[in-house]
Amino acid sequence: MPSRSSTVRIGTEAFARPTEWFGLEDCEITSRGLSTPAVQRLIHARSAPPVPKWTPGKKQDSAQDTRAQELIRKLLYARRTDSIALAESVCNEATSLTWVSPRVQEKMDAAVRSGRLWAEKQIADRQQLFASLERAVADQHHGKVRRLLQLAKAATKDDSSESVNHVITAATDYLTTVATARKKHLNTLLDDLDGSPQYMDPDLFYAKVLELLHAARTVDAISPQRRAQVEAWRKRSGVPAGPDQGCPRCGAGNWLPCLVDTTADEVQGVPHDERMRPIIEERKERQRA
Residues that bind Zn ion (CB under 5 A): 247, 249-250, 258, 272
Q: Which is nearer to Zn ion, 188 or 245 (CB)?
A: 245
Q: Is 12 helix (H, G, I), strand (E, B) or coil?
A: strand
Residue 276: CB minimum distance to Zn ion, A: 9
Q: Which is nearer to Zn ion, 136 or 247 (CB)?
A: 247
Closest CA to 218 of 189, 273, 188, 256: 256
CA distances from 131 to 97, 122, 126, 138, 242 (A): 37, 14, 9, 11, 42
Q: Which is nearer to Zn ion, 94 or 215 (CB)?
A: 215
Q: Which is nearer to Zn ion, 175 or 260 (CB)?
A: 260
Residue 172: CB minimum distance to Zn ion, A: 28
Determine the number of helices (DSSP H) and then strands (DSSP E) in the chain.
9, 4
Contact indicator for 167, 134 with CB cutoff of 8 Å: yes
Residue 279: CB minimum distance to Zn ion, A: 12
Q: Which is nearer to Zn ion, 104 or 258 (CB)?
A: 258
Residue 250: CB minimum distance to Zn ion, A: 3
Residue 268: CB minimum distance to Zn ion, A: 7
